[in-house]
Amino acid sequence: MSKLAINVSNKVPAFKKGTAFVIGVRNSSKGMGLTTSKTDVSVLSKHDLEHLGANFNLESMSRVAAPNGAIFALLGLGDSAVEKLNPDAYRALGGAIARNLKGIAQVVVDLGITKQDDLLALIEGIQLGNYEYNGLKSKANVKPIAFSKVTVITDLKVTAANLSRIQIIAGAVQSTRDLVNTPPNLMYPAAMVKEVQSASKGLGLSITVWDEKALAKDGFGGILAVGMGSSRPPRLVKIEYRPKGAKNHLALVGKGITFDTGGLSLKPAESMVGMKYDMTGAATAFQSVVAIAKLGLPVRVTAWLCLAENMPSGTAQRPDDVIKIRNGKTVEVLNTDAEGRLVLADGLSVAAEAKPDLILDIATLTGAATIALGNRYAGLMGDEKAVSVVQQAAKNTGELVWHMPLPIELRQLLNSDVADIANVKIGNRAGGMLIGGHFLREFVPSTIAWAHLDVAGPADNGGAAYGYTPKGGTGAILRTMVEVASGLAKAK
């Protein structure tokens, strides 16, 4: 990821070698044509766009020679009869620009944008799309990203505050992606704690960490049970942001399973690949607070990161074990691969003790969420007030959530003969995501607004990059979390 400078201007720079000029291509009843721009595109008018290889499909891009060694990057803006160019579309187009032109240092974007919301979304998409994770590849196998300066041509004005906000939030999304993409031999509970301590410096955040002894002393039976099979012990991290004058309190609870083998209820080998992503909820909650603090939002925010590695060993929890959660409820563990809900139960219980105005938990909780909603939508469950808040925030940010029900008849499937509740219903394959939501509901008092986000689908993009979404960890839903906090900061 390169450091990217974005500015807005109504003057088009001169054509010169090493600069790409992004021009829109749109289809209409008159056929395919270039969109309005201030850039001199007369050289293109002499040619048939189709013969030049141009395509109007959204996010498609073709390159054509421009004067003085520059190039035209012809960006597909869709069919005017089908695609509406709203902020969501421009955000995706911005991502496509960053992805396709990362080998070019200076880029001029001239799409004829006339609406402020569209302009800000485009800039945000460019920042979000400017990402690449190369992990532990040797330098010989990494192609440097040249992409470093973008000028957007428009008569509209953008404030420094607008650009700073976009950069802060995009930076938090990219940091979340880095955490999620890090191999599990390098990202384990204690390593995550170090990441939190390092990133929190200078932000006025208060950090509290529970090790395995403190977890046992303070009754965090769920986190302890899940982590007891690993040689790398579990941790609970509390990150607190308490600005002066804050009237409302938001609690974020994140599932942080740094690697999930399934425990003694072992996953098949192929299903284990990618389970480094099982700490996405904790990474998202952590970086959400970082972004909120950097933005200086006047709202109290407490994040609880429930960190454990779910491994099989002679010390691992067993199916049939009964454990006690922080709030005193007992859980019969019937499947050790339904571990996320056990650590979240502790996190939700302790978060509720401070009686916040809203609790949001985020987790890669169930494969059932992906079966139901595919790979791009997060499942949203909870009470009416909290669900409504999250839905509006997601709409504002262009992130995809889908409200799922919590049918009352499913709750009885978690009844246990030996404990207050079981963590699964063995043999039941119906409504798995919803049953997970019911389990979590048991650990939040009905007097506190609560919503659960199952991000098992959108947390990890296993396919090709699209829009501003890279392959691998996506950082999905972080922008929604920050937007929720922004709303609470304004609420009386």
The yes-or-no answer on residue 267 being catalytic is: yes
Q: Among candidates 250, 249, 309, 307, which has minimal Cα distance to 282?
A: 307
Q: Among candidates 325, 333, 330, 362, which has minimal Cα distance to 477?
A: 362
Q: What is the rounded distance in angstroms from the CA atom of residue 303 to the CA atom of residue 249?
A: 11
CA–CA distance from 335 to each of 272, 318, 322 (Å)? 16, 8, 12
For residues 63 and 72, the answer to whether their CB atoms sit within 8 Å is: yes
DSSP string across 205-267: -EEEEE-HHHHHHTT-HHHHHHHTTSSS--EEEEEEE--TT---EEEEEEEEEEEE--TTSPP
Of residues 267, 294, 395, 441, which has the active-site annotation? 267
339 marked as binding residue? yes
337 marked as binding residue? yes
278 marked as binding residue? yes
483 marked as binding residue? no
For residues 72 and 44, the answer to whether their CB atoms sit within 8 Å is: yes
At 490 the three-state DSSP class reads: helix
CB atoms within 10 A of CB 195: 18
User: Please, what is the end-to-end C-alpha distance for the chain in angstroms?
Assistant: 39
Of residues 26, 99, 324, 341, which has the active-site annotation? 341
Residues marked as binding for Mn(2+)?
255, 260, 278, 337, 339
The set of catalytic residues is 267, 341
Binding-site residues = 255, 260, 278, 337, 339
